[in-house]
C-alpha cells in the first residue's frame, strides 16, 4: 500500500508515469499496475489518463492531500529513528495569505534562519485557505476577521491593524470624509480574497460601525498594488499599519477618518502536521509565538503618537490643497 501511495504521489507531482517510474527506480508498468491496484482497492478513479496527459480527478486531489501528509510523517519518523534530525532541516514551505502584512516576513525569516541555519525557506502567496492546499505548504500565515477553517490546526499570534488612507491629491479633489457613511461618495480600494472584503469595520465616537463598500474602483490581493494605487490618488483604502506609518511620516498619504479605528484582524499560523512530529514546523510556530506578538505591539506603540496627531488635525480639503 505504501509503495502504491508513493507511486501515486510521484505521478501526481510530475504528471507522468514514465518520469515517476524513473525517479522511483521502477519500470513504467510497475507504477501503472500499483496505481491501478490502488484505485481498485479504493473503488475510485484517482487519475485521468490519456496518451499525452495525466491529471488528478477530484477524488484524486482529496486523496493526494492525505497521502502527502502520510508520506511526510513517515519520512520524519524514519529520520528520527535514524537519529539524523537533532536539528530542524530541509525546506520550510510557508504560504502567506494576501491579507497578511508581508513587510514582517523578511525580519521573521531572517531571525528564524539565524537560529536554525540548516533550514531553507520557500514563500508563496495563497488565495484561499483550504485543507487540500495545506498539502502544498507546511504552514500558512493568515490574517482575517474570520477564524480559520474548522478542523485545521492553528495558533492565534495576535492582531494586525490597518490605517485608512488617501493621497492629498485625492482628498483635495474629492473632499474629506468625516464619518464612515461619507465613504459612500468616495472611490474605494480594497484587499481581495479576504473574508472582510467589501465591508469595513470601525470603532469610533459612536462605538462600532460597519461600512459596506459601494464604489470599489480596485480590488487586489497584491499589497504593493494597493499602496501604489492609493499614493497615485486612485481612492481611499486600508494600508497595513507598518506600511501606513511609513507613508504618513513621508506625508505621501493622509489618514482618513482619524477619529475612527479600523478593526484589527487576527493573525493565525495554520498547519496540517501535528507539531511534535516535524521539527522545522514546530520550531517555526514556536518562534512566531515568541517574536511576532512583540513586533505587532511595537508597531502599535510607534503608531500611538501618529494616531494622536492625526486625530487632532481636523484637516479640510482646503488645508490639504494648501
φ and ψ at 262, to 5 degrees?
-70, 130
Alpha-carbon distance 311 to 178, whole Å?
Answer: 12
Q: How confident is the model at residue 13 (pLDDT cuts 50, 70, 90)?
A: confident
- pLDDT tops 50 at residue 317: no
Report how far apart, in Å, the C-alpha atoms of 207 and of each of 180, 190, 210, 213, 293 are.
12, 23, 10, 19, 26
Which of 189, 174, 98 shows the shortest CA–CA distance to 140?
98
Give me the residue spans of the domains in the chain.
2-81, 90-155+270-290, 162-265+302-321
Q: Out of 1.10.760.10, 1.10.10.10, 3.40.30.10, 3.90.10.10, select the CATH number for domain 2-81.
A: 1.10.10.10
- pLDDT tops 60 at residue 251: yes
Q: Would you identify the CATH topology of the domain 162-265+302-321?
A: D-Maltodextrin-Binding Protein; domain 2 (3.40.190)
Q: Would the CATH topology of 2-81 be identical to that of 162-265+302-321?
A: no
Q: In the chain, helix, strand, coil percent, each to 5?
A: 45, 25, 30
Q: Which three cell numbers stand for residue 72?
A: 511526510
The predicted pLDDT at position 129 comes to 62
DSSP 47: E
pLDDT, tens digit, 9 for 90 and up, residues 56-71: 999 999 999 999 888 8
The predicted pLDDT at position 50 comes to 81
pLDDT, tens digit, 9 for 90 and up, residues 90-110: 899 998 887 788 889 999 999
- pLDDT tops 90 at residue 120: yes
Alpha-carbon distance 71 to 77, whole Å?
Answer: 10
Residue ranges in 15-151 assigned as alpha helix (H): 17-23, 28-42, 58-81, 105-115
Judge contact between 160 and 267, C-beta under 8 A. Answer: yes
Write 203-210 long-range contacts (CB < 8 A, 24+): 203/260, 203/261, 203/263, 204/179, 204/180, 204/257, 204/259, 204/260, 204/261, 205/259, 205/260, 209/180, 209/260, 210/180
Segment 43-57 shows an average pLDDT of 88
CATH number given to 90-155+270-290:
3.40.190.10
Q: How confident is the model at residue 292 (pLDDT cuts 50, 70, 90)?
A: very high
Amino acid at each position: 500500500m505504501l509503495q502504491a501511495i508513493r507511486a501515486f504521489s510521484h505521478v501526481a507531482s510530475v504528471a507522468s508515469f514514465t518520469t515517476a517510474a524513473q525517479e522511483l527506480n521502477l519500470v513504467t508498468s510497475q507504477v501503472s499496475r500499483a496505481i491501478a491496484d490502488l484505485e481498485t482497492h479504493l473503488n475510485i478513479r484517482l487519475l485521468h489518463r490519456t496518451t499525452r496527459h495525466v491529471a488528478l480527478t477530484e477524488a484524486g486531489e482529496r486523496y493526494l492531500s492525505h497521502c502527502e501528509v502520510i508520506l511526510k510523517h513517515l519520512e520524519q519518523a524514519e529520520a528520527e529513528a535514524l537519529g539524523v534530525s537533532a536539528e530542524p532541516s530541509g525546506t520550510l514551505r510557508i504560504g502567506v495569505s494576501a491579507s497578511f502584512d508581508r513587510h514582517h516576513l523578511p525580519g521573521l525569516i531572517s531571525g528564524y534562519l539565524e537560529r536554525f541555519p540548516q533550514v531553507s525557506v520557500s514563500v508563496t502567496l495563497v488565495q484561499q485557505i483550504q485543507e487540500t492546499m495545506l498539502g502544498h505548504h507546511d504552514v500558512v500565515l493568515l490574517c482575517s476577521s474570520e477564524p480559520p477553517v474548522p478542523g485545521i490546526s492553528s495558533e492565534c499570534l495576535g492582531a494586525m491593524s490597518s490605517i485608512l488612507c488617501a493621497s492629498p491629491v485625492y482628498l483635495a479633489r474629492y473632499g474629506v470624509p468625516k464619518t464612515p457613511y461619507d465613504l459612500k461618495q468616495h472611490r474605494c480600494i480594497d484587499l481581495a480574497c479576504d473574508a472582510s472584503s467589501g465591508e469595513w469595520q470601525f470603532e469610533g465616537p459612536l462605538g462600532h460601525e460597519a461600512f459596506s463598500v459601494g464604489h470599489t474602483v480596485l480590488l487586489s490581493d497584491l499589497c504593493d498594488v494597493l499602496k501604489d494605487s492609493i499614493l497615485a490618488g486612485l481612492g481611499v483604502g486600508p494600508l497595513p499599519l507598518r506600511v501606513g506609518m511609513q507613508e504618513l511620516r513621508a506625508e505621501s498619504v493622509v489618514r482618513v477618518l482619524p477619529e475612527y479605528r479600523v478593526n484589527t484582524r487576527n493573525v493565525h499560523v495554520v498547519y496540517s502536521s501535528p507539531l511534535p512530529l516535524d521539527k522545522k514546523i514546530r520550531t517555526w510556530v514556536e518562534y512566531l509565538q515568541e517574536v511576532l506578538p512583540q513586533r505587532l505591539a511595537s508597531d502599535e506603540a510607534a503608531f500611538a503618537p501618529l494616531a494622536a496627531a492625526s486625530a487632532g488635525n481636523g484637516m479640510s480639503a482646503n488645508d490639504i490643497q494648501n
